[in-house]
Each structure stands twice: as structure tokens, then as C-alpha cells.
Amino acid sequence: MLPQPNLSPKAIKSQLESEFTVQGPTMSKANSVASSRGISLDVYAVSLALVLALLVRLNLIPPIKW
């Protein structure tokens, strides 16, 4: 499900294969799979940030301290 912390070429290769791309004869499909997942991460992150901003704007969560 998730990338290995190991940074050996073998480990990264397996990460690339399992999560980003599946290189081979179906290149366009591979591209779209990789891209759609990349977009998902960005979209999820942006969505979370916007929801949090909205909650803060509507005072639905207490002031966040650091």
C-alpha cells in the first residue's frame, strides 16, 4: 500500500511499480494511472486545507495555538 523507506534502487523500483506507474505496453494507461493518483494527493491536500480554512472562518474550531 505504501512506499518503502528503503531507498535502494530495488526498493524504489518496486515503489514506482506498485504505486506510480506500470511501465510497459499500456503506456497511456500507465500515464493516466500515475497522474490520477498524483492529482488525488494534491486534491486531497488542497481539500483538507480549504475545509480547515472554512472551519476557521466560521469559527467552528477553537483558535489554533502553536
Q: Point out which residues bind other proteins (CB under 8 A).
A: 1-13, 15-21, 23, 27-28, 30-32, 34-35, 37-46, 48-50, 52-53, 56-57, 59, 61, 63-66
Least separation in angstroms between residue 29's CB and other proteins is 10
Least separation in angstroms between residue 44's CB and other proteins is 7
Q: Single out the residue of 32, 45, 36 nearest to residue 53, CA to CA.
A: 45
Least separation in angstroms between residue 23's CB and other proteins is 7
User: By the 8 A CB rule, do 39 and 47 touch?
Assistant: no
3-state SS, residue 60: coil
Phi, then psi, of 8 in degrees rounded to 5 = -70, 155
